[in-house]
Amino acid sequence: MSKLSVKNIAEAIYDASHDKSGNELGLVLKRSAQVLKDKRMLGKSKDVLTALQKMIDKKTNTIRAKVTTAKSLSDQERKKIEQGIKEKYKGEVIVSEFFENRELLGGMRVEVENEILDTTYRARLEKLEKFLMK
Amino acid sequence: MSNHIVENLRKEIEAFKIDENALKVGHVVEVFDGIAKVSGLSDVKSSEMVTFSGGETGVVLNLEEDTVGVIILGDFSKIVEGDEVSATGKILEVPVGDAQIGRVLNALGAPIDGKGVVKTAKSYPVEKVAPGVVTRQGVDQPVQTGIKAIDALIPVGRGQRELIIGDRQTGKTAIAIDTILNQKGQNMICVYVSIGQKDSKLRKLQTRLEEGGAMAYTIIVSAGSSEPAALSYIAPYAGVAIAEFFMDQGKDVLIIYDDLSKHAVAYREISLLLRRPPGREAYPGDVFYLHSRLLERACRRNQDYGGGSITALPIIETQAGDLSAYIPTNVISITDGQIFLETDLFYKGIRPAVNVGFSVSRVGGNAQIKAMKKVAGTLKLDLAQFRELEAFAQFGSDLDDATKRQLERGKRAVELLKQPQYAPVLTEHQIVSLYALVKGYMDDVPVEAIKAFESGLIDYTDNNAKMFRKEVLDKKMWTDAGEAELKKAIEDFKVNFMTL
């Protein structure tokens, strides 16, 4: 029998739980934890949760974004950025986290899944440095 | 002066543009022995080049469900878990250009000979599909190696793939070097790919080529034994990409892979680290394809496609003469023939230690010039018969005259085919000495005097058989008048030689 992968477990948990609620959902989740224990996969529970999160995001068309800027943004600016991400990635729900990093000097860095749009001054200066070094 | 510098800098900065597109990135999950497992990089292609945040380059080899396996081309000690890895969208490329001639490059095309930057304008992908059937033509022009035993018996043509195979210390690299040295004035660019060799050996080889004036048309691509296996794996593909650049210009190129056994070992190391299932001798299942796709890129293009060619001389090192090991059988079946070198012959003093019986050239006969074909026609058969008779003659002393004659001729043929290293012989000279042998002029010359006879004869005929020489050089064949002149010159020389 082939070994169960993290993805297999996450899929099974999702299939068993997505249409449940209340006590029934609690029971499914309890059993899921028991399966992880029985299969000696508790050490991988973090990976299972990440895979489950990804799966749920995909089903609910949720986009998770990480935005880093040099100075803090106003609510209006944040909303504008979220709207831009929503349009570009065609998502229904946007879950965004905003960070501040003075070392970026200016501009912003947006991370969505495995894509990065880096328009910070720091990144530009680094590119200029590499260009001149050539 | 300073104004000039400022002006140049301003121009450079003005030319600088930033591409503000979203980058596909991943993160290093684990890194070990020159391999990195990277998460993310969802749209990455196989063989795509990726860059690590520290500036190192990698090539994607394994595409798995959640991660990709990347081989790191360079120093992997600075790469740590969590490092950002960005996809480039490009298949690995090496710079190519005329400026590379005479230089020693690493597997990524960067100079390592301390002679400064190599300015190139173009790049070629290291992995490329071999030219198709319609672009090719038959092999019909010779590569003159300058080695009598090879040019006469196992001729190599332009566009051919001829394997040089033998145990360690049998003179495999020596044949390759002699061949490069003999390409002077033959309209040939040479690429020597050194895979997993000691740096001292490479340095010696470079010095030898410089002394022989061969670096004027040679490029050395090296992945040393101290470098990661990934570079050894890439080196032959980088070499052939450089060769393809010259072939695309209609030039003839000779490429030597020294050696593909080490290449296979490097690939085995990478494959095992990438957790690919091992097969025979622990090599991965695609080790045949590894070499076949490389050697298939050697070809001769027809005139409609520029008419260039790549001749490949791969080298394989056997263990205790075992030709039936996995890699030797693979490469024997891929190539168009092999030059088999034997330890026993080497220690008997027969150098180059070519075993004429086991060596073949599947297309070579068409690639010989007519004159060579004529003199070498029966030589191979004579030598094979000689070896058989030699073994047989050890048992009995009473031999008939015909057998004795054949044995004597064979001894002289073996003696004549001996040749010191770094002393390639011109084709017209080879023809003269082989003509004298096959026509029986050497039958009464003592075996120990054959070498002296040969060198004397070559000097004499250079001055006294000029018509013959001119015919062979211009028309690749002699006329009756030319042959008569040569015969007379040989007879005259022999009279003088025997009376000495």
**Active-site residue, B362 included:** yes
C-alpha separations of A13 from A3, A56, A57, A64, A107 in Å: 17, 11, 15, 22, 41
pLDDT for residue A1 is more than 70: no
Position B1 scores a pLDDT of: 59
Enumerate the residues of chain A whose CB falls inside 8 A of the CB of residue B83.
none
Amino acid at the residue B269: E
Q: Which residues contact B6 (CB under 8 A, 6 or more apart)?
A: none
State the nearest Cα–Cα gap between B23 and chain A, in angstroms: 5
A115 — contact with chain B (CB < 8 Å)? Answer: yes
pLDDT (tens place) for every residue of chain B, 500 residues total: 567 888 888 887 787 777 777 888 999 999 999 999 999 898 899 999 999 988 899 999 999 888 999 999 988 899 999 999 999 999 999 999 999 999 999 999 999 999 999 999 999 999 999 999 999 999 999 999 999 999 999 999 999 999 999 999 999 999 999 999 999 999 999 999 999 999 999 999 999 999 999 999 999 999 999 999 999 999 999 999 999 999 999 999 999 999 999 999 999 999 999 999 999 999 999 999 999 999 999 999 999 999 999 999 999 999 999 999 999 999 999 999 999 999 999 999 999 999 988 899 988 678 899 999 999 887 888 888 888 888 878 776 678 888 888 899 999 999 999 999 999 999 999 999 999 999 999 999 999 999 999 999 999 999 999 999 999 988 889 999 999 999 999 999 999 998 87
Q: Is there a cis peptide before residue B259, judged by omega within 30 degrees of 0?
A: yes
Helix, strand, coil share of chain B (percent; to 5): 45, 20, 35
Q: Does B65 touch chain A (CB under 8 A)?
A: yes
- The confidence score (pLDDT) of residue B413 equals 94
Q: Do B16 and A124 touch (CB under 8 A)?
A: no
In this prediction, residue B391 carries a pLDDT of 80
Q: Is B325 helix (H, G, I), strand (E, B) or coil?
A: coil
User: Could you tell me which chain A residue has the CA closest to the CA of B8?
Assistant: A132
Q: Which residues of A touch B40 (CB under 8 A)?
A: 113-114
Interface predicted TM-score (ipTM): 0.76
pTM for this predicted structure: 0.89
- Measure the CA–CA gap between B372 and B477, rounded to whole angstroms: 8
- Are the Cβ atoms of B12 and A118 closer than 8 angstroms? no
- Which one of B23, B67, B117 makes the best mutation probe of the A interface by having the most chain A beta carbons within 10 Å? B23
Interchain CB contact of B29 with A (< 8 Å) = no
Query: Contact A117/B23, CB-based, under 8 Å?
Result: yes
Cβ–Cβ pairs < 8 A, chains A and B: 35
What span, in angstroms and rounded, lies between the C-alpha atoms of B468 and A125? 72
Q: The tokens of A68 are what?
A: 């880093």
Residues 6+ apart with CB under 8 A from B115: B103
Give the minimum alpha-carbon distance from A24 to chain B in angstroms, rounded to a whole number: 31
Interchain CB contact of A5 with B (< 8 Å): yes
Rounded CA-CA distance B415/B351 in Å is 10
| B95 close contact with A: CB closer than 8 A | no
pLDDT value of position B93: 93
Residue B23 to residue A118, Cβ atoms within 8 A: yes
A107: closest chain B residue by CA: B20
**Within an 8 Å CB–CB cutoff, is residue B398 touching chain A?**
no
Assign A17 to helix, strand or coil: helix
For residue B396, what pLDDT is reported? 65
Q: Please give the full DSSP string across B229-251, using - where no structure is assigned.
A: HHHHHHHHHHHHHHHHHHHHTT-
- Is A54 part of the contact surface with chain B (CB cutoff 8 Å)? no
Length of chain A: 134
Q: Which of B136, B276, B293, B362 is catalytic?
A: B362
